[in-house]
Chains A and B, each alone.
Chain A
Amino acid sequence: MIWIPIILGVLVLVMILVYNGLVRTRNEVENGWAQIDVQLRRRHDLIPNLVATVQGARDFEASVLTRVTEARAQAMGRIGAGPTGAAAVGLAETALSSALGGFFAVMENYPDLKTGQNFLALQEELASTENRIAFARQAFNDAVALYNTRRESFPGVLIAGGFPRREFLQIEASMRELPDASV
């Protein structure tokens, strides 16, 4: 009968390990989200500079600019809610991406703006910001995938009550087709 306490002890130990594993992966998800937050703010902060580069240009379509500023305001209101707001943030950022896509499409018609000093200086920053968001999203989604797998597979599923499922962050990129200023 000495086996019963030993088996119980091993079971408790396994449960502790599984629980700690869940906590660790959940923290990775939170950290991943914090990084996305930082990079999205960086993106939002860059937009006024971007708008400023075309402010001097005559008859730059005002509707395009309004769309970008409005999408930015929308997106700024979405962040800060933590990973539970991933779906809403994804939608808002996708809308911002598409507004920016329209902005760059219009900019194609202004070659001197495109090769202007202000825009050239911004370009590396814009490219890098988009990359940062992509990489932060990639790291976050990796963490979410691991966390979700852990909490849904045995034996994690037995104690996953306090660990809600997390959603992936999806942003459709459109600044990928950034105008090529070197032409």
Chain B
Amino acid sequence: MWEQIRANRIRSAFVVTILGVLLVAAGAAAGAAFAGPDAAVAGAVLAIVIWAVLWMTTISAGDKVLLGIAGARELPAGELPQLRNVVEEMTIAAGLDQTPRIYLIDDPSPNAFAAGRKPEQALVAVTTGLLGMLDRDELQGVIAHEIGHIKNRDVALMTTAGIMLGAIVILGETTMRAMWWGGGYRSRSSNRDGNAAALIGVLLLILAPIVAQMLYFSLSRRREYLADASGARFTRYPEGLASALEKIGGVAKPQADQSRVTAPMYIVRPLRQGEKLGVRGSWFATHPPIQERIKILRAMGGGAGYADYERACQRVTGHGMVGAQTLASETAAVPAQAMGLVGVAGGNKAPAGAVQGAPRGKTAVEEQARAAHPPSAPRRLRDASNAFLQASGYSKQTCSQCAAVIKVPPSLKAKLRNCPRCASPL
């Protein structure tokens, strides 16, 4: 199983390289479209500068922003021994050198995520809602999935890919906006060749963010399948994770953290107010549909290895997911446990079919509509500044009358009585 990290590096490097090429091409296209073919090189350099700035911001902010967004606190020593034990057990099963730090999120919505670019800095965060809902075997399945992300280096991969995607989107949006106001090279020039280059540039600028997003999301979904497969293999008990996903999918409350940036690391995609988990897949989804994931785990037919997962995946979805090199690292059959390992209270399994399926067509349409219109640049800026405010301890209050959101600094000790905007009592 240790071989799989190496295999994954090759594939990750490939996707990240394509994203990098797209970024440079988009930069060159921006230059050509805005200032003529001679500016293509300058545009490419600008693209790399944008990427470097984003990269440095992310590295210096580290996990604090992510944890701040989620409102997580580190689990104090001696508290919740079962959670700590489960994390340590899965660390052993995965063969990691170091136990990830454990964070708790006070949120009734059941979810969990992994973070940390290197296994040595890794952490696992779970919501209190998750802990209250799952038995030991199911919790083990969820933690195994998250440890799978850490073992497969998904955090580093998705961060790198996410930064590239961000740079491409910013580049595309800014140039298109600037051309809208200032006019492109084409409208100011009479050079025919230059015109053609500028036109190609504009086309590339429109296409690059879309292609980059599709690459990014398909990569994310692939990593989810692989983390599920790892979860099954580490626990030797696919039913634990399947049953956990079923419970999580059945509840699926909207969650406080809805940032698209952090979504790929959660076990299921965090939901917005009034939204349900989609039944059908989408090209622009970070996660495969939850029902499909459950179906694959339950179709593993008494096996718990990557080969069993790959077969089940073929049967359920018609395509493989695990990757040839990962499969080759498995030299013998890996049978599943007939039952979970000893849990303190025994495994009280959720009855099959307890999931309430979301209304089919509507959700998928909504999901696609939202995916087709990613949040605008000012919206993203506000999301980011909110994240920083929350990371530095600001609390949020919403006025029931005018829906104004008031961000209260931690230094303010007095309680707010009236809305500063419409003066109605809070």
A interface residue numbers (CB < 8 A to B) = 24-25, 28, 31-32, 35, 39, 123-125, 127-128, 130-132, 134-136, 138-139, 142-143, 145-146, 149, 175-176, 178, 180-182
Contact = CB atoms under 8 A, between A and B. Distances in A.
Given A135-B90, A139-B93, A145-B331, A175 B342 contact: yes
B85 A124 contact: yes
Contacts of B341: 127, 130-131, 134, 176
A142 B1 contact: yes
Given A24-B2, A135-B92, A181-B344, 13 more contacts: A28-B2, A32-B95, A124-B85, A125-B85, A128-B85, A128-B89, A131-B89, A134-B341, A135-B234, A138-B93, A139-B93, A143-B2, A180-B346
B342 A178 contact: yes
Contacts of A28: 2, 95
Contacts of B346: 180, 182
Contact of A139 (B82, B95, B136, B345): B95
Contact of A132 (B82, B88, B234, B331): B88
A34 to B, nearest CB: 10
B344 A31 contact: no
B412 to A, nearest CB: 42
B332 interface: yes
A139 B342 contact: no
A123 B344 contact: yes
Contacts of B82: 124, 128
B397 interface: no
B90 A149 contact: no
Nearest to A138: B93
B329 A146 contact: yes
Contacts of A149: 331
A145 B1 CA distance: 10
A52 to B, nearest CB: 19
B95 A124 contact: no
B342 A127 contact: yes
A130 B1 CA distance: 22
B236 interface: yes
Nearest to B334: A142
Contact of A138 (B85, B236, B343): B236
Contacts of A123: 344
A131 B342 CA distance: 7
Nearest to B90: A135
A127 B343 contact: yes
Interface string B334-366: 000000011111100000000000000000000
B331 A146 contact: yes
A48 to B, nearest CB: 19
A143 B95 CA distance: 10
Contacts of A135: 89-90, 92-93, 234
A28 B5 CA distance: 14
B120 interface: no
A145 B93 CA distance: 15
Contacts of B89: 128, 131-132, 135
B342 A130 contact: yes
B74 interface: no
B10 to A, nearest CB: 15
Given A28-B2, A142-B1, A143-B2, A176 B342 contact: yes
Given A127-B342, A180-B345, A35 B88 contact: no
Nearest to A126: B342
Contact of B344 (A25, A124, A134, A146): A124
Q: Which of A125, A136, A139 has the most CB atoms of chain B within a 10 A radius of its CB?
A: A139
B81 interface: yes
B3 interface: yes
Interface in B35-70: none
22 contacts: A28-B95, A124-B81, A125-B81, A127-B341, A127-B342, A127-B343, A128-B86, A128-B88, A131-B341, A132-B89, A132-B92, A135-B90, A135-B92, A139-B93, A139-B94, A145-B332, A146-B3, A146-B329, A180-B345, A180-B346, A182-B344, A182-B346
B285 to A, nearest CB: 32
A39 B331 contact: no
A129 to B, nearest CB: 9
Interface in B292-348: 329, 331-332, 341-346
Contacts of A25: 2
B95 A31 contact: yes
Nearest to B97: A31
Contacts of A176: 341-342
Contacts of A132: 88-89, 92
Nearest to A141: B332
Contacts of B3: 146
Contacts of B344: 123-124, 127, 181-182
A134 to B, nearest CB: 6
A182 B345 contact: yes
A50 to B, nearest CB: 15
A79 to B, nearest CB: 16
A39 B92 contact: yes
B204 to A, nearest CB: 41
Interface string B71-95: 0000000000110011011101111
